[in-house]
Chains A and B, each alone.
Chain A
Amino acid sequence: MAAGFNWFLVLSCVFLCNLVKTLLPSISSFLSKIFHKDADQETEMRTEIQNMRMELSSINMMDEFARYARLERKINKMTDQLKTLVKSRTAQQAKMKWIVNIVFYIAQAAVMISLILKYYADPVTVVPSKWIAPLERLVAFPSGVAGGVGITCWLVVCNKVVAIILHAIS
């Protein structure tokens, strides 16, 4: 019974890998939010800048030039600080995205290699060989079993089908 569900195991692994690949941007942004400690500070700065700008718009430059200039300088200084903060956050996000992608691709490669090594000699399923003539050797590679569906052929087929399904859904 366990041997009869090899094809299902491979299909599930491929489906999970492709699903995680689709969710990679969300995962990386979630992780960067967790590791980014200055998120609150950034929000506070934005709010403060907005309040100062509203105050600036209420001040008449002709009547209260000194106050206007002081406030404007404050706004500019805080804007520069905010820009620096946003820059560092963006760099951290890019770094996190890069790390998440690398980890994912290494994990995916490990899963695929382990599947190939596990089913190198055994086919994932067997059908009568005359059904899949004249491509029975290609389909059976690398198991070499007549009428069998080899791991490589099944991996390629599952990857394609899962990609089409996920593309249609998304």
Chain B
Amino acid sequence: MEVCEESEGARTAAQRRAEIRRRKLMQNSEDRMKKIVGFSQPEDSSADRSARSALEPRFHLDLERHEPWSGSAKRLSPHPAETDRSASEAAGEEDSPRELPASPRRGLKKYLSRLDDAMKLRGHLAGEKPAPDRAGTEPDDLDAFCLFRLAASVALALFVRIFVCQYLSIFAPFLTLELGFMGLHKYFPKVCLCFGTDNVEKKSQATVLTAALLLSGIPSELINRSMDTYRKMSLVFSDLCVYFFSFVMCHELLLLCGSDGS
């Protein structure tokens, strides 16, 4: 009888121990899962917290706090001393596990949105026709306005060499010409050869550089404005080079004709 009671007691104790072990395993499985997914352990004790890496930022949200919020030392503290202090103070706090997943989730959302942009841009770049290797540095095709600019620069250079250069600098008429171009620009229809339409639209070139700038967080408006400014400056520089070249050629030809004549 006693043996039976003892064995029953032992079974019950064994069962109890098994039950405890099972519960422990179940609890640990949750923790293990959270570790795998990337969330830190929520129900750690303060001793475990202090043993964690010093670089890990720790967030504490005290819902039962009655004092006014004194600063960021308790909320965000990457320094180990502060985090230990705040860890010891927040031993009874809750909701820190709820705060911890929010920042990785936000970061994940931001990453995913950037990834979407990157995939779209990649598809767009892959779908674009690859531009052939050009000898010149002109980023755009020579449309009607560009040709008009170049022709006008040449004509002005010849005119200035023959009639004007004795009286004033050659760059003054050039500046006047550029000011005139700024006003005449809107009267020229810009033909977008890549789309095959005659709409007056800005041709947006999605290059690898603009894609990289977009993905690094620079607003697209700023990129477009900078590219537009750069394009205009390069046009002015081209006009200046053509103007000066035509002027010098005309000067040399006149000298040659003058020396041949004499």
Contacts and interface: CB of A to CB of B under 8 A. Distances in A.
Contact of B136 (A127, A130, A163): A163
B252 A135 contact: no
What bracket does the count of chain A residues touching chain B fall in? 20 to 34
A157 B245 contact: yes
A160 B170 contact: no
A79 B135 CA distance: 38
Contacts of B188: none
Nearest to A133: B169
Contacts of B96: none
Contact of A161 (B171, B242, B251, B252): B242
A163 B138 contact: yes
Contact of B244 (A4, A133, A157): A157
A118 to B, nearest CB: 19
Contacts of A135: 171
B39 interface: no
Main secondary structure of the interface of A (DSSP, over half): helix
Main secondary structure of the interface of B (DSSP, over half): helix
Contacts of A134: 169, 171
Nearest to B160: A131
A163 B242 CA distance: 11
A163 B169 contact: no
Contacts of B134: 167, 170
B169 A130 contact: yes
Contact of B248 (A7, A156, A166): A7
What bracket does the count of chain B residues touching chain A fall in? 20 to 34
Interface in A118-139: 125, 127, 130-135
Interface string B234-251: 000110011011001001
Listed residue (B134, B137, B171, B245) with the most chain A CB atoms within 10 angstroms of its CB: B245
Interface string B117-149: 000000000000000011111100010000000
A132 B170 contact: yes
B237 A160 contact: yes
Contact of A167 (B138, B170, B171, B241): B138
A130 B142 CA distance: 34
A157 B241 contact: yes
Listed residue (A19, A127, A154) with the most chain B CB atoms within 10 angstroms of its CB: A127
Contacts of A158: 245
A158 B241 CA distance: 8
A164 B234 CA distance: 12
Interface string B14-36: 00000000000000000000000
A167 B238 CA distance: 13
A84 interface: no
A21 interface: yes
A4 B252 CA distance: 8
B238 A160 contact: yes
Interface string B162-188: 000100011100000000000000000
A76 interface: no
A107 to B, nearest CB: 16
A131 B250 CA distance: 14
B152 to A, nearest CB: 14
27 contacts: A4-B252, A8-B252, A22-B135, A127-B251, A132-B169, A132-B171, A133-B171, A134-B169, A135-B171, A149-B248, A154-B248, A156-B241, A157-B244, A157-B245, A157-B248, A160-B237, A160-B238, A160-B242, A163-B135, A163-B138, A164-B136, A164-B138, A164-B150, A164-B242, A166-B135, A167-B134, A168-B142
The 8 closest A-B CB pairs, nearest first, are A167-B136, A163-B136, A160-B241, A22-B135, A166-B135, A161-B245, A133-B169, A157-B241
